[in-house]
Amino acid sequence: MSAASTESRTRASALPADERRAAIVAATVPLLLEHGEAVSTRQIAEAAGIAEGTIFRVFPDKQAVLRAGVEAAFDTTPFEEAVATIDRSLPIEDQLEEAVRLLQARFASIWRLLPIARDTGVITPGAAKRPDVHALTELFVPFAKQLRLDPDTAARRLRSFALATSYPGFEPDGPPPPEEVVSLVLDGIRRHPVRKQR
């Protein structure tokens, strides 16, 4: 058997461009979190298991790679899918604690990548959109009668509180435990018995 035929058998088949792009982006996100904009295309290529030149068959330049990585990190779809897997048979406290863990992990990434998001144009002044809280809202719906806010508003309050307490400048020791976040939010939105006047 010739060396050429042996090589053709052992060499991995080339991926379609969209799959190769997805693999590069997936390798880029954790490197951006670790190194910021200082990450090199060589590091990205090594993490993706490809030659460095392969990156530029899919992306025009390094800036485009960084932008794609930030866009992937800011995409809400993985978060929403994770929230959808939370066991709905659990008490509301347990469901929301898991949702807060997911939120805190997401926000930790976003805060670190925010400067790159601005530099790459992923975020531009005046372009902010209202965040979609549909996945969180669904957690509150079965418990709506226990709340004094509607489920959508309750979901936005939970998200906002998790966002604020995940900001390093506000919480230098790290975000509060999810159970603390949930307790504070629920105690503010649960219905309270009417107090009897003395």
**Cα gap 13→24, rounded to integer Å:** 16
Annotated domain spans of the chain: 15-72, 76-189
Q: Is the pLDDT of residue 187 over 70?
A: yes
Q: Determine the CATH number of domain 15-72.
A: 1.10.10.60
105-109 mean pLDDT: 93
Tokens 């910021």 locate to 36
How confident is the model at residue 194, as a pLDDT?
60
pLDDT interval class at 106 (50, 70, 90): very high
| Residue 188 vs residue 55, higher pLDDT | 55
Beta carbons within 10 angstroms of residue 79's beta carbon: 17
Q: What angle do CA 101, 136, 145 make, to 5 degrees?
A: 115
How confident is the model at residue 6, as a pLDDT?
43
Q: Please state the pTM of the whole predicted model.
A: 0.81
How confident is the model at residue 76, as a pLDDT?
92
Q: Coil, strand or helix: which one is 198?
A: coil
How confident is the model at residue 8, as a pLDDT?
38
**Amino acid sitting at position 142:** P
- 145-169 burial, b at 16+ Cβ within 10 Å, e below that, comes to eebebebeebbbbbbebbbebbeee
Least confident piece of the model among 44-53, 143-152, 185-194:
185-194
